[in-house]
Amino acid sequence: MRNRSSERLRFIGQWLKNPRQTASVTPSSPELAAAMLVELPANTTRVIELGGGTGAITHALVDHGIAGKQLLVLELNQELHAHLHKKFPQEVLVLGDAAELPRLATDAGFLEEGLADAVISGLGLLAMDRRLVAQILESAFACLRPDGRFIQFTYGPRSPVPESVLGALGLHMRRGGFVLRNVPPATVWVCQRSQSKAIIPRRVNR
C-alpha cells in the first residue's frame, strides 16, 4: 500500500509539472492493467508499451512473462524514465517520443528480433490533434506484425482515434472492457489493421 501511495504521489508531481505530457493524475490500477492484458493476441511474447509512467502496466506485463529484451517501454518524461530504469533494469527502456517509435525501437535493438505482437498505450490520445494521433498510430503499426494489436485506454466514452484517421490508415477499432476500479474509470480500446498488410500512409486532415 505504501508503495502504491508513493507511485501516486510521483505521478501527481509529474502531472503538475506538465499536465499535457502526463495524461493522468494517477497511475493505472491493477484492474486496468489486467483488462489491457486480456486483449493481447494469443501467444504474445513481444510487446511495446507507450507511456510507461510509474510502471503499473509494465509490472503487469513482466508478471505475465513478457520481460527482458521482449519488452520495450517508451517514456517521454525524463524523471519517469529514470524511475522506470531503476525499477525495470532488465527491460528495454527508451526515452523519447512515440511518433518516432520505429527509429527509437531500431536504435535500441528491439526490432532486430522481429516485430512486436502488441503495442500497449497509456498516451492521452484524446488530448492530441488528429495529425499527431495519425503519426503515433502509423509509427506503432510500423513496429507491429501484420495481425498485431494496438491496445489503448481512455477516460472518455468516445473512441480515442477519429474515424478519419482510422480510415486513412486502413485500421478499425473496437471497444474492449470498462474498468470501474480505476481513478478515473477507464475504457479499453483495441485497434487493428482492417487487412493484414502494411499501412500505406495517407494525408490526414485536421
Q: pLDDT of 110-131, one tens digit each?
A: 999 999 999 999 999 999 999 9
Give the chain's mean pLDDT.
87
Asked if the structure places residue 204 within a domain, the reply is no
Given a contact cutoff of 8 angstroms between Cβ atoms, the answer to whether 120 and 50 are in contact is: yes
- The boundaries of the domain holding residue 33 are 2-193
pLDDT at 94: 98
The structure's pTM equals: 0.84
What angle is formed at CA 124 by the lines to CA 123 and CA 128, rounded to 5 degrees? 120
Per-residue pLDDT at 204 exceeds 80: no
Asked if the structure places residue 132 within a domain, the reply is yes
Instruction: Give which of 84, 79, 73, 148 is closest to 114, Cα–Cα.
Output: 148
Q: What percentage of the chain carries pLDDT values higher than 70?
A: 83
Q: Residue 38 belongs to a domain with what CATH number?
A: 3.40.50.150
* Residue scoring higher pLDDT (105 or 2): 105
In the chain, the number of structural domains is 1
Asked if the structure places residue 199 within a domain, the reply is no
The torsion of the CA quartet 73, 118, 11, 133, rounded to 10 degrees, works out to 100
Asked if the structure places residue 206 within a domain, the reply is no
3-class secondary-structure state, position 35: helix
Among all chains, which residue has been given the C-alpha cell 493524475? 25
Asked if the structure places residue 154 within a domain, the reply is yes
Per-residue pLDDT at 15 exceeds 60: no
Asked if the structure places residue 200 within a domain, the reply is no
* β-strand partners of 190: 151, 174
